[in-house]
Amino acid sequence: PSYTLRYFNMIGRAEACRLLLTAAKVKWTEEHPEWPQEKEKQPFGHLPVLIEKRADGSELVLSESSTIERFLARTYGFLPLDPTQSAIQEQIRDEQWDVLNAFIFVIMVHGDEDKKAGMDRFNDLFNRMVKVHMGILNANANKKHLFGDKLSFADI
Amino acid sequence: MASTTNTPSYTLRYFDGIGLGESIRLLLTAANVEWTEEHPEWPQEKPNQPFGRLPVLVEKSTDGSPDFVICESSNIERYLARTYGLLPADLRKAALQEQLRDQMMDVVIAFSGYARSISEEDKKARKEAFEEIFEKFIALLTKILQDNGSTGRLFGDSLSYADIAIYIFFKNLILDFVRLVADIVDYAKPKVTSEIIKLISTVETDPKLTKFVLKSGDLTAAVSA
């Protein structure tokens, strides 16, 4: 199959999707829809959106960056199919976005009180995340990957 | 009903409330496995959790190997749903369900931003942002339910992960979030469509869930009144 990724021309919430498509060595292109003109045309009214075109002509349209990432990672072997092994990697990705969403909240609010409360929460989450990740890296013998000895979903 | 020697048993660590734990409780119930719950002292027990937060799921092994411990509510949900057949093994079909749960979380995050905002300027902007994403979500869910024949199920013809996740979203919104935003039910309840009410009652009357689902409240009654 070949893929089209619709997003903005930035890292944002789509870079992991781009890296997974690249690592999977599939044909893919990118579209940067006019925004907000194209908002209403997207299934959930936001980006990223992934379109998979299969050889039989059928299409799958997915939204939600974390769903898109997991779908590509599972399909192309970057996430184990075994639910137990997969869950250990997925929780790292989910945790990381809790931290990033907390930071995004700080960027978007205007009041000083809102910003301070937001930053306190972000700092707490971020410091904990760094501690956890260092623990996992140190526990993996080769110290170059988070899990196993080749590129995985969690690494990306 | 009794677990075999090969079926694991589970401990859920969470707070005593619906929040991000109730979907997990319903999945454990539907899976028909043995499970218990712990309510850790908070924040004293924070450093004892793998990521410093709740929920945490402990899967107790049956062969003496170490317990399997995972965090992150959506990760726990997907793990149980895949393991116990509430998410299809087909990757594409699973992705169509998972994206709804992720989108639901976007709506909850928008609500949370609104509930947390302090200045008048932010409160107004965040209220508008929440209402926009919420109303779009309602329209999307209603369409999916209609496309599936208005049977009260989002996908297929039996209880699915997506049904549970969306049911819990409305349960939080209607029965719990009033403590965060006083007029949320006045705003949200009239917008709940008849298709969604049917989803709610289909979940609450599913034989796999009936022994547990109403313990946290009768949502069908609350949205129909």
Nearest to A91 among B75, B95, B121 (CB): B75
Q: What does the pLDDT read at residue B94?
A: 97
Q: Cβ separation of A87 and B99 shorter than 8 Å?
A: no
Q: How far, rounded to the nearest angstrom, does the alpha carbon of residue B3 sit from its chain's CA centroid?
A: 25
Q: What does the pLDDT read at residue B3?
A: 46
Q: Cβ separation of A71 and B102 shorter than 8 Å?
A: no
Q: What does the pLDDT read at residue B88?
A: 95
Q: What does the pLDDT read at residue B62?
A: 83
Domains of chain B in sequence order: 10-83 (3.40.30.10), 91-224 (1.20.1050.10)
Q: Cβ separation of A44 and B99 shorter than 8 Å?
A: yes
- What ipTM is given for this predicted complex? 0.83
Distance CA A39, CA A48 (A): 11
**pLDDT tens for the 225 residues of chain B, in order:** 444 557 899 999 999 999 999 999 999 999 999 999 999 999 999 999 998 899 999 999 888 888 999 999 999 999 999 999 999 999 999 999 999 999 999 999 999 999 988 889 889 999 999 999 999 999 999 999 999 999 999 999 999 999 999 999 999 999 999 999 999 999 999 999 999 999 999 999 999 999 999 999 999 999 998
Nearest to A60 among B70, B92, B103 (CB): B92
Q: Which of residues 57-96 of B touch A (CB under 8 A)?
A: 68, 70-72, 74-76, 78-79, 82-83, 91-92, 94-96
Interface test with B, best of A13, A49, A67 (most B CBs within 10 A): A67
- CB-based contact (8 Å) between B17 and chain A? no
For residue A94, is pLDDT > 80?
Answer: yes
Cβ–Cβ pairs < 8 A, chains A and B: 98
Which residues in chain A have Cβ-Cβ distances shorter than 8 Å to B142? none
Q: Cβ separation of A91 and B95 shorter than 8 Å?
A: no
Which residues in chain A have Cβ-Cβ distances shorter than 8 Å to B118? 111, 113-114, 117
Compute how many other C-beta atoms are within 10 angstroms of the C-beta atom of residue B36.
11
For residue A80, is pLDDT > 80?
Answer: yes
For residue A26, is pLDDT > 80?
Answer: yes
- CB-based contact (8 Å) between B169 and chain A? no
List of residues 6+ apart from B94 with CB closer than 8 A: A71, B82, B87, B88
Closest chain A residue to B104 measured between Cα atoms? A64
**Considering only CA atoms, which of B87, B80, B89, B27 is closest in space to residue A81?**
B89
Nearest to B98 among A70, A101, A110 (CB): A70
List of residues 6+ apart from A128 with CB closer than 8 A: B51, B52
- CB-based contact (8 Å) between B116 and chain A? yes
Distance CA B101, CA A70 (A): 13
Q: Cβ separation of B122 and A71 shorter than 8 Å?
A: no
Q: What does the pLDDT read at residue B4?
A: 52
* Contact assessment for residue B127 and residue B121, using Cβ atoms and an 8 Å cutoff: no
Alpha-carbon distance B117 to nearest alpha carbon in chain A (angstroms) = 6
Distance CA B53, CA B60 (A): 20
Distance CA A28, CA A21 (A): 7
* Contact assessment for residue A94 and residue B115, using Cβ atoms and an 8 Å cutoff: no
Q: What does the pLDDT read at residue B5?
A: 59
Q: Where are the domains of chain A?
A: 2-76, 83-155
pTM of the model: 0.89
Q: Cβ separation of A46 and B52 shorter than 8 Å?
A: no
Q: Cβ separation of B98 and A87 shorter than 8 Å?
A: no
Q: How far, rounded to the nearest angstrom, does the alpha carbon of residue A148 sit from its chain's CA centroid?
A: 20
- CB-based contact (8 Å) between B121 and chain A? yes
Alpha-carbon distance A47 to nearest alpha carbon in chain B (angstroms) = 11
Q: What does the pLDDT read at residue A12?
A: 85
Distance CA B29, CA B40 (A): 21
Tokens of B215: 């313990």
Distance in Å from the first CA to the final CA of chain A: 22
Among A57-71, A139-153, B47-61, B98-112, the range scoring the smallest mean pLDDT is A139-153
Please give the CATH architecture assigned to the domain spanning A2-76: 3-Layer(aba) Sandwich (3.40)
Q: Cβ separation of A66 and B102 shorter than 8 Å?
A: yes
Q: Cβ separation of A94 and B98 shorter than 8 Å?
A: no
